[in-house]
Each structure stands twice: as C-alpha cells, then as structure tokens.
Structure 1
C-alpha cells in the first residue's frame, strides 16, 4: 500500500464520526437532491426493497418515507450519525425503516434497488472494485443501482472524483448499463459535474 492508499485507509468510522461531530460536511445539500428526488418520483412500487448505503443525513430516506415506501434500509459507518437518525426517524425505525451502524462491505441482505448519493465518492479509491462486487452481491436478479456520480476530479479528498470512461469500465464487469447521462437538475455548484447512472444486474 503506497502513502496515498495508506492515507485513504484511515477513512474509517472514527474519521466520519469526527466529520459529523465537527459539522465538516461541505457535501451536504441540506435536503434530498433534485436528481434523486426526480428518480424517486417515478418509482411506483411502494414495496420495493431499497438500500441507501453511506446514507449520511439520510435526506433520501426521509423523502422515501414521505412518498410512502415501506421497505427501506439505511446504513452508515458513523455510529454518531446513525444514533442521530434513530432519533430523527424513531417513529419509523423497525417498521418501514431499518437503520444499520456498520460497514457496507460486510452487509448481508438482498435488495431490489440501491440508491447512490455521495457514497461512492467518499470511499478510498482502492475500494471501488469492492464497491461494485458488493453492490452485485446485495442486489436481487434484475435489481438496480441508481444515483449520482461525479464527472470531475478533485484535489485531495474525500470526495474523490471520476469520469464516465472510468465508470463504464468499472461497472461493466458486473452490470448492464441502463443509463449514464449528465444531470440536468444539479445544484449550481455541481452543474456540469454530475452523471445520473442506472446499472442493472442480470435477471
């Protein structure tokens, strides 16, 4: 492991606890993003089994609950954060919502849909192939990953950027591409720098 990989290997629970404790959350938009909101709005099966990994402040979760979805799981490595979410969603946890404190890569389960919103970009670069393999394992046949990836590079990180060509190569090992298009409804600071992706596991 080189020096950069060693630095990235420290992006553990303690790192993310500290970021949330100190409100160092510049990526946080304060609400569900418009690309994710538009995607959720066209989903109709309220029993769809949905996973939100690296859920952060879980605005997507709140919107899914608002829309009436009944089978949602949210996971984050920061227990400080998930403790906050259990208070925020206390009326729904154990009913329509499951909240898990833990490592996405160790998660068990089987899902119809996994929503991606600033989780991929928060992971160390060397874990990207593991991300794809874990997504594949967690999805049911015909299941989908849908969400937003950055189409730009960053100095340092997290977040860590990427490109359409990189994502094409990375995901094609396991998934069929259904869509990868520039987001038309990004917030101003991210205009022209986001792709909305939909990848599907074979049925």
Structure 2
C-alpha cells in the first residue's frame, strides 16, 4: 500500500481522521471510555492516532511500513509515539483499539491470528472499533481484501460481543455503499 502512496494512489487517505471514528466516539448510546490506553494498528500517517490523543487517550500508532511511521511522525502536531513493529499490550491491556485498514490487509487464512491478537491486546471490557470495508464483491487479490461483519466475528471468536453495527454518516465517496462500522466489547 505504501508503494501506491509513493505513486499518489491513496483512496483510503482522506487528509484527516476517519469521519466514522469521530461519529462513534461521540455516539451517546455507547459507553466507550473517555480516556485510557488506545491502539491504532496499521495507523498509516496517524490521523486517527492524533484524534484519539487529542481526546485524552494515551495513544500508540503502529505500522509495518517505515515510510508510514516516518510520515506519521512528521504529520503529528502533538507529541505521539509511532513505532514500526508489533508490541505487547500495556499491563492491563488497551481500553480501545481502532482498526480502519488493518484487518483488510490480511488474507483470510491469517485472520484468526488477527483475532487472537486483538483478544490478547484488549483489556476485559475494552472496546474494538472496526471499519468494515470493503464489503462489496469478492476481492481475493487484496489488499484490501473484501470483508464482512461475519469475517470479523469468526476471527474474534466467542470472547467478543457486538455493541453497534451500522452504516455511519459522513462516509467518504469511496466508502458509500461499501462500509459499515462495528463496535465490539471484550467479554474475556
């Protein structure tokens, strides 16, 4: 994906945080934490990391791409940590994890590993916000790979409960009719 960025092909980058994340964080009927430890895996240039940190979360952005980490460090206008590796969770786990394009980067055969890692990284009662995109068609040659809410449910397993599943307002043009947002709560 970062090769595409270098070529100027970035339909997933909207030059700011993802509008569905802002919508979910202000959703009055959800009982999401207002502060604590947050993780954004596959953070790209860090827009969503900046938003969560500005709202009071101790936020960590990780990405496998050194280019992404470099861009994120330059982009952030507040002191934040971005690292280019997979890390362990804080002692008590993360209170909130936001996955915008991380899950869809993995082929279906490795998604159970993603689910096991989300379960390991989250604290009991913590929340995972997932942007379920692209939900249209069958895209076997990703990334991004096509997904469904059921794909996430299968990967996460029985230690998660769905607390919200809807099409959020404010989707970008490339996401209209192709995306949902689902919030999960850890029951471990």
Structure 2: give runs of 5+ residues left out of the alignment.
Answer: none
Contact 1:40–1:64 (CA under 8 A) maintained in structure 2: no
1:70 to partner: Cα distance: 4.1
Is structure 2 residue 51 aligned with structure 1 residue 63?
A: yes
4+ residue runs over 4 A deviation: 42-46
Q: Structure 1 26/152 Cα, relative in aligned 2: closer, same or farther at 3 Å?
A: same
Structure 1 or 2, whichever has the larger Rg, is 1
Determine if contact 1:152/1:193 at 8 Å carries over to the other structure: yes
Q: 1:74 aligns with which of 61, 64, 76?
A: 61
Q: Secondary structure at the match of 1:185?
A: coil
1:191 to 173, 176, 188: 176
Q: Which runs of 5 or more residues in structure 1 are unaligned?
A: 1-15
| Corresponding residue to 1:127 among 110, 113, 122 | 110
The 2-side partners of 1:57 and 1:154 are apart by 28
Q: How has the CA–CA distance of structure 1 residues 57 and 153 changed in structure 2, closer, same or farther, with 3 Å as cutoff?
A: farther
Tell me the CA shift for residue 137 of structure 1.
0.2
For 2:170, what is the secondary structure of its paired residue?
coil
Where does residue 114 of structure 1 map in the other structure?
A: 97
Match of 1:200 among 167, 181, 185: 185
Are 2:14 and 1:29 aligned?
Answer: yes
8 Å CA contact retained: 2:116, 2:156: no
- Please tell me whether the aligned partners of residues 119 and 156 of structure 2 are also in contact (alpha carbons under 8 angstroms): no
In the alignment, structure 1 residue 153 sits paired with structure 2 residue 137: yes
What TM-score comes out, normalization by structure 2 length? 0.83
Do 2:161 and 2:185's aligned partners in 1 also have CA atoms closer than 8 Å? yes
Distance 2:76 2:177 in 1: 34
What does residue 7 of structure 1 align with? none
Which residue is equivalent to 2:39? 51
SS at match of 1:62: helix
Does residue 1:174 correspond to 2:163, yes or no?
Answer: no
